[in-house]
Structure 1
Amino acid sequence: MPLYLIERTFAEALEVSPEGAASIMRINDDVGVRWLYSFLSADKKKTYCLYEAPSAEMIREAAQRNGLPADVVIEVDELRPPAVQAEAAATA
């Protein structure tokens, strides 16, 4: 399944409760996208999220239904440094 990086900008510092995260995941499941992980900026006003989804449009639909911004949605491929790739292959 394609991978997407989503950049989100928030007006206020982001605080996500376990209940809020669970709600996001339920809606994502309904839409057919999977939240893999996120990075939060030091000021807590930006996130960079990695998702699996059939299309960028489905990412945008999930964001809209969750009431979340999706400022930039980019399809990406995974790239790791050679040493990390060799280690991952050895443990697979």
Structure 2
Amino acid sequence: MPLFLIERNFAERIDITTGSVREVTEINQDIGVHWLFSFLSADKKKTYCLYEASDSEAIREAARRAGVPADVIVEVDQINPAAFA
């Protein structure tokens, strides 16, 4: 399945709770996208998230339903560092 890196910019610092993660996870499952990993900026106003999804439109729809931004969506390819050793 294709991989996507999503940049999300928030106006205010975000507070991530167990409940908010559960809600987003349920929306993702309904749409068929799978969250893999996220980074949170030091000021807590930006995230970079790695997802598996069929296409970028599925990512946009999941973000819309969850009420979170998806400012930049880039399809990426996995790099295996061991392949370069």
TM-score, with length taken from structure 1: 0.87
For residues 68-79 of structure 1, the aligned pairs below 5 Å read: 68-79=68-79
For residues 9-20 of structure 1, the aligned pairs below 5 Å read: 9-20=9-20
| Higher relative contact order, structure no. (Cα contacts within 8 Å, ≥ 6 residues apart) | 2
Give me the whole-angstrom Cα distance separating, in 2, the residues matched to 1:20 and 1:72: 21
DSSP-derived class of the 1:49 partner: strand
* CA apart distance, 1:80: 3.5
Aligned-CA RMSD value: 0.9
Structure 1 segments of 4+ aligned residues over 2 angstroms from their partners: none
Q: Which runs of 5+ in 2 are unaligned?
A: none
Count of paired positions: 83
DSSP-derived class of the 1:51 partner: strand
Q: Which runs of 5+ in 1 are unaligned?
A: 87-92
Q: Could you tell me the percent identity over the aligned residues?
A: 60
Query: Who is 1:89 aligned against?
Result: none
Counterpart amino acid of 2:44?
K
